[in-house]
Amino acid sequence: MSAATKSSAKVGSRIETRRAFIFLAPALFFVLVLFIIPLAYNVLISFFDWSAIGRKEFNGLENYLKVLTSERFTNAAGNTIYFTVLAVPIGVVLSLIVALGFNTLLITRVTGFIRALYFAPVVASLTAVAFVWLWIFNPAYGLANGVLGIFGVDPQPWLTDESQAIPSLAIMYIWARLGFNVIILLAGLQAIDRSYYEAARIDGAGPFRMFWSITLPLLNRQLVLVISVEVMNAIKLFELPFVATKGGPVGSTRSIVMEIYELAFRADRWGEAAVYVIFLFVFLLVVTGLIRKLFTRDIAE
Amino acid sequence: MTTTTPQTPVTSTPAPAQAVPLRRDRTPLGPLLIKVALILGGCLLLVPLVWVILSSLKRPDEILQLPVKWLPENFFNFSNYVQLFSQYNFGQYMANSFLVTGLGILTSLVIALFAAYAFAFYRFPFKEPIFLLVLALFMVPQEALVIPMFLMVSGAGLNNTYIGMAFPDLFTVLGVYLLRQFMEGIPFSYVEAARMDGASEFRILTRVITPMVAPAIVVFVIIKFMFTWNTFLWPMLIAQDERMYTVTVGLVNFAGSEFNQWNLINAATVISMIPTIILFVTLQRYLVRGVAMSGMK
């Protein structure tokens, strides 16, 4: 015991190391079982003509060729990217505006209550969100067309129209995610030392200049986090179209994860589904890498 | 930030043009406008939830009336809810969700406590790389790994079991991260003193350290509850028997079979949200703090 208690030494003793790994063992086990093995397994499956019940034959890059040239893939990838490009920037900018608004207010019980209003939708599951809005967007009985009717606007088809379906899903998604982003951005804003603004004001900087050269760079970390998390969630798009549109109309809301589900669990074409997964990962890596790069340059200026 | 608010001339003294009010409390008009705008926006965000709740209180004929009726005739018409629990299995779905969520919270919390303790108080080779690896997994969308995971779990014969349904939730990177952050703030002398007294490492963790990180544990449990309660794809794949459905799966399945019974679908949607809404209303402060904390790395 006494040898191990000398933990103030620079390097841990052998006993300490052993203890550390005993304490870490369950976590490392799950890292292996939940992440590393599935990732490797997925890569393996992608090289096979893989049926859950029958044959499992190595077929090289055939799945990749088949998937990347299929219209099904380009459609799903296109829909998912369109959704992401629509939902994430609008969602983040809106969150930033709301967070900036809250940041001007004193923290009181009242503002705490108002903030709670924004956070309320966050606690709903995406499944529930889909039903909430499926009902609101109901062309005949829905609230959305009811409200439009008051202003004399013609009823809209919303989720039942090819060109309106993805924007409608984006509205649902932004609604569900706004509060979460506001909280993170607001915490970042409140951590900014106000003396920067005092100094800038003495130098004669206007509000927009202060926003660009103080607020944005110092909010960098939270912005990167929010954008990365949003992109990740948007790219995983599944529940909203699965529930609200079933991928329709005419496949206009079929997402990558929906195709993964359909291919593997409905069509028993696991090898091709695994290729979709790999595409998802590569895409996510590239995008989050780009976000990081873009924003670190920002702060350097 | 005052810097982006429209530059309403709010300072009482005739200040130079570019004077932007910096103190939050000095300006009476600007913040008032912002406050009003924020309240309006917040109410707007709440409308969909209120609408669903109102719809869930309507009768089947009432809900399909045109033009759209805003309010239910009887605000205490809970017959839709009663029907979901008596004629359908929503009670069972709730129980299943609680079980799977509880299993996920408990296991991931214990594992995270041990791991965080090791990261915070031990020196060992490859400590930094291992921690960075765990952190990197933050950005791995687990849902995307359903294919290999399903093959593994069903291969292990865990299909249609609670363990199988909770499987991806038995461990969460966020827990390790949050608890380690907190433990790093505890002076090492606490651990040393306990060791001096002859306490075992396990005892130090459970009796000394765990109570000290209680706030982080609360935050983690809330966030974890929310995430696990709300998952859909994985339990849908693993729960094949209708008696095993979680609330989210039950809701989707129910809506698929009871097409156009919107009074019931709305009530079922509300039921699925009740636990997280209660959690939100009672522990809102912790929840908000937790989310904010996870953004302050």
pLDDT for residue B212 is more than 80: yes
* CATH number for the domain harbouring residue B193: 1.10.3720.10
| Residue partners of B42: CB distance under 8 A and separation at least 6 | A114, A115, A117, A118
A39 touches chain B (CB under 8 A): yes
> Which residues in chain A are contacts of B294 at CB distance < 8 A?
184
Give the burial class of A52: count Cβ atoms within 10 A of its Cβ; 0-12 exposed, 13-18 middle, 19 or more buried: middle
pLDDT at B163: 95
- Are A104 and B151 inside 8 Å of each other by CB? no
Token pair listed for B127: 């400590």
Domain that holds residue B271: 84-294
Q: B141 and B33 in one domain?
A: no
| Residue partners of B105: CB distance under 8 A and separation at least 6 | B221, B224, B225, B228
Q: B135 and B214 in one domain?
A: yes
- Out of B18, B276, B292, closest to residue A206 by CB: B18
State pLDDT tens for residues A191-216.
888 888 888 888 888 888 888 888 88
Residue positions counted in chain A: 301
State pLDDT tens for residues B66-88.
776 778 887 888 888 998 999 89
Q: Which residue from B minimizes the CA distance to A94?
A: B41
The closest of B36, B208, B115, B162 to A20, measured between CA atoms, is B115
**Of the residues B79, B95, B115, which one is the last residue of a structural domain?**
B79
pLDDT at B28: 62
- φ and ψ at residue B232, rounded to 5 degrees: -130, -55
State pLDDT tens for residues B262-296.
889 999 999 999 999 888 888 877 777 777 776 65
State pLDDT tens for residues B15-42.
444 444 444 445 567 778 888 899 999 9
Q: Provide the shortest C-alpha distance from residue B199 to chain A (in Å).
A: 10
The closest of B54, B75, B257 to B63, measured between CA atoms, is B54
Q: Work out how many domains chain B is built from and give that number.
A: 2
Q: Provide the shortest C-alpha distance from residue B142 to chain A (in Å).
A: 8
Query: CA B131, CA B181: separation in Å to the nearest integer?
Result: 12
Chain A, residues 191-230, CB within 8 A of chain B, namely: 191, 194, 197-198, 201, 204-208, 210-211, 214-215, 221-222, 225-226, 228
Per-residue pLDDT of chain A (301 residues; tens, 9 = 90+): 344 444 444 456 888 889 999 999 999 999 999 999 999 999 999 999 988 888 888 988 999 999 999 999 999 999 999 999 999 999 999 999 999 999 888 777 788 888 888 888 988 999 999 999 988 998 888 889 888 988 988 888 999 988 999 999 999 999 999 998 998 899 889 888 888 888 888 888 888 888 888 888 889 888 988 998 899 899 989 999 999 998 888 889 999 999 999 999 999 999 999 999 999 999 888 988 888 888 775 554 4
Q: What is the 3-state secondary structure (H, E, C) of chain A?
A: CHHHHCCCCCCCCHHHHHHHHHHHHHHHHHHHHHHHHHHHHHHHHHCEEECCCCCEEECCCHHHHHHHCCHHHHHHHHHHHHHHHHHHHHHHHHHHHHHHHHHHCCCCHHHHHHHHHHHHHHHCCHHHHHHHHHHHCCCCCCHHHHHHHHCCCCCCCHHHCHHHHHHHHHHHHHHHHHHHHHHHHHHHHHCCCCHHHHHHHHCCCCHHHHHHHHHHHHCHHHHHHHHHHHHHHHHCCCHHHHHHCCCCCCCCCCCHHHHHHHHHHHCCCHHHHHHHHHHHHHHHHHHHHHHHHHHHHHHHC
Q: B47 and B149 in one domain?
A: no
**Measured between alpha carbons, how far is residue B287 from residues A176, A184, B39, B218 in Å?**
16, 12, 21, 9
A108 touches chain B (CB under 8 A): no
Q: B201 and B54 in one domain?
A: no
> Which residues in chain B are contacts of A47 at CB distance < 8 A?
none
Q: B198 and B282 in one domain?
A: yes
Residue positions counted in chain B: 297
**CATH class name, domain A63-300:** mainly alpha
- Are B295 and A140 inside 8 Å of each other by CB? no
Chain A, residues 152-171, CB within 8 A of chain B, namely: none
Q: B259 and B196 in one domain?
A: yes
Q: B220 and B140 in one domain?
A: yes
pLDDT for residue B106 is more than 60: yes
Task: Report ipTM (2 d.p.).
Answer: 0.87
**Of the residues B39, B54, B79, which one is the last residue of a structural domain?**
B79
